[in-house]
């Protein structure tokens, strides 16, 4: 079944409309009211659409914070982020956005909380206040990124493990005492460079420049001449893998409007929040769904 036939089959089976945004990632979901509790057929169809399209966009969804939490929880247990500020009544909702004096700092390709021993399955983000222009978000299909690698690179990274760390992205937001506490609670996590999606079976390039610091077992897999070759070779390989997220052919870019919701699969995507709107303000709320240990 080709992509067009698969999309047509989805449309017949789903109780909502599905409009792909690009050939490789992203779909607009219509004819659905996310204020209502998802029945089983709708839930299953949305989950299947998420796995296939990697990120789903819902427009004009004026939901309350409580409805946001309930909607996300339909897909699994929710995390409480240790650093970002939370909604006062719903700690599962993080509050994202700078102000007229402080820029946001999410403009780096990353997968949410990959630094956890058990990273997230998905994230559900709602725009509360949008800037007059700018502030788009880019998502990347990292299964496509893996598929596009040359065969010799695929062979080279097979069996490699990457170390993901909270501190590069969030250490500067903490006091010295908070860094000590969070270092103990969230030690660096080691995940495979190539993970397998638990639902689709796709192989995914699971390395991001936001949180990966080094390769845990590079020296055990790669032959090298002298120590300098080992270290520089590891850095060169990581930089090459990081750059795969920047390939436009693997991406979709979405323009926010108030009450737009994006729901993405953190297992198979990375994303980048474009910070081109400062000193205008963009305010968002995000719920993050706990996933499974990558294999």
Catalytic residue of the set 68, 112, 116, 282: 112
- Give the relative orientation of helices 40-53 and 3-13 as an angle to the nearest 10 degrees: 160
Strands (E), 99-208: 120-129, 137-141, 161-164, 189-192, 194-196, 203-205
Strand, helix or coil at 39? Answer: coil
Q: Residue 126 catalytic?
A: no
The answer, yes or no, to whether the previous bond of 86 is cis (omega within 30 of 0) is no
Beta bridge partners of 141: 269
**H and E: helices and strands count for the chain:** 9, 15
- Assess contact for 110 and 210: CB atoms under 8 A: yes
Angle 146-152-157 from CA coordinates, rounded to 5°:
60
Q: Give the separation between CA 91 and CA 69, rounded to whole angstroms.
A: 10
Q: Give the separation between CA 17 and CA 53, rounded to whole angstroms.
A: 13
Angle 51-57-63 from CA coordinates, rounded to 5°:
115
Q: Residue 271 catalytic?
A: yes
Q: Give the separation between CA 21 and CA 95, rounded to whole angstroms.
A: 27
Over its C-alpha atoms, the chain yields an Rg (Å, rounded) of: 19
Q: Give the separation between CA 59 and CA 67, rounded to whole angstroms.
A: 16
Q: Residue 81 catalytic?
A: no
Q: Residue 112 catalytic?
A: yes
Catalytic residue of the set 81, 126, 267, 286: 286
Nearest residue to 152 (alpha-carbon basis) of 216, 222, 214? 222
Strand, helix or coil at 127? Answer: strand
Catalytic residue of the set 53, 116, 271, 282: 271
- Assess contact for 230 and 219: CB atoms under 8 A: yes
Catalytic residue of the set 110, 116, 191, 267: 110
Query: Which residues are known catalytic residues?
Result: 110, 112, 271, 286
């Amino acid at each position: 079944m080709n992509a067009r036939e698969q999309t047509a089959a989805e449309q017949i089976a789903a109780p909502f409309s599905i409009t792909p945004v690009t050939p490789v990632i992203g779909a607009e979901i219509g004819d659905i009211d996310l204020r209502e509790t998802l029945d089983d057929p709708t839930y299953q169809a949305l989950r299947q659409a998420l796995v296939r399209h990697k990120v789903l966009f819902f427009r004009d969804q004026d939901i309350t914070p409580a409805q946001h939490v309930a909607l996300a929880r339909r897909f699994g247990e929710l995390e409480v982020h240790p650093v970002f500020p939370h909604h006062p009544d719903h700690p599962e909702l993080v509050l994202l956005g700078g102000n007229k004096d402080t820029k946001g700092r999410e403009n780096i390709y990353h997968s949410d909380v990959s630094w956890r021993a058990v990273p997230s399955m998905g994230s559900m983000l709602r725009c509360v206040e949008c800037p007059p222009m700018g502030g788009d978000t880019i998502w990347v299909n990292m299964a496509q990124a893996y598929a596009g690698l040359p065969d010799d690179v695929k062979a080279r990274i097979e069996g490699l493990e990457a170390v993901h760390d909270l501190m590069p992205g969030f250490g500067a937001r903490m006091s010295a005492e908070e860094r000590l506490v969070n270092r103990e609670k969230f030690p660096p996590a080691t995940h495979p460079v190539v993970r397998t999606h638990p639902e689709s079976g796709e192989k995914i390039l699971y390395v991001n420049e936001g949180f990966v610091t080094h390769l845990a077992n590079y020296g055990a897999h790669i032959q090298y001449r002298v120590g300098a070759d080992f270290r520089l070779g590891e850095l060169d390989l990581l930089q090459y893998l990081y750059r795969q997220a920047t390939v436009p052919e693997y991406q979709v870019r979405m323009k926010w409007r108030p009450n737009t919701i994006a729901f993405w699969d953190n297992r198979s995507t990375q994303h980048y929040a474009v910070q081109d709107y400062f000193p205008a303000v963009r305010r968002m709320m995000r719920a993050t769904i706990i996933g499974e240990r990558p294999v």
